[in-house]
Amino acid sequence: ASISFDVDRRDNALRIPTRALWYLPQDRKLVRDEDHDLLDGKRKTDDQESEMETELSAVERAAAKRKRKKRHVWVVDGDKLKAVELETGIDDHKFTEIASSALKVGDKVVIGIDTKKK
């Protein structure tokens, strides 16, 4: 026998495929010039942030955890990709809730690039 239950639930939440949070463009030519810093790794990795958090007080760790919820996704902007910052909420590994964001209805969030020739 097995049992399952909801730990948390949000009705009518704005959500995106979780894969969109992990997508990173490999071709700089596809990305707007002002977003190249993100490709250059100007942001600390999650591992680096977690390592730093072990040395913080409980209040500082809570603030760092909230900051880590800030991510970005790539959206189609004409013929380029644009980074859009957002704050994530709960997820089920398939979809992630967007707690706050500059995303607009109709934005095309990128989860990968189709490299097949048509």
Can you tell me the mean pLDDT for 19-24? 95
| Cα 56 versus chain centre, distance | 24
Which pLDDT score, from 0 to 100, does residue 56 have?
74
**Domains contained in the chain, number:** 1
In a domain, 78, yes or no: yes
In a domain, 74, yes or no: yes
Q: What domain range is 33 assigned to?
A: 15-42+70-101
In a domain, 54, yes or no: no
In a domain, 50, yes or no: no
The tens digit of pLDDT for each residue in 7-18 reads 777 777 888 999
In a domain, 97, yes or no: yes
The tens digit of pLDDT for each residue in 69-95 reads 788 999 999 999 999 999 998 888 899
Confidence of residue 20 (pLDDT cuts 50, 70, 90): very high
**Helices marked H in the chain:** 19-22, 36-39, 46-53, 58-68
- Distance, in Å, from the CA atom of 107 to the CA atom of 101, rounded to the nearest integer, reads 12
Tokens representing 101 are: 């964001």
In a domain, 95, yes or no: yes
Which pLDDT score, from 0 to 100, does residue 44 have?
47
Which pLDDT score, from 0 to 100, does residue 116 have?
75
The tens digit of pLDDT for each residue in 44-72 reads 455 555 555 567 777 776 666 655 578 89
- Distance, in Å, from the CA atom of 38 to the CA atom of 35, rounded to the nearest integer, reads 6
Positive or negative CA dihedral for 73, 76, 103, 32?
positive
Which pLDDT score, from 0 to 100, does residue 118 have?
56
Q: What is the mean pLDDT of the chain?
A: 82
Is pLDDT at 23 greater than 70 in this prediction?
yes
In a domain, 4, yes or no: no
In a domain, 25, yes or no: yes
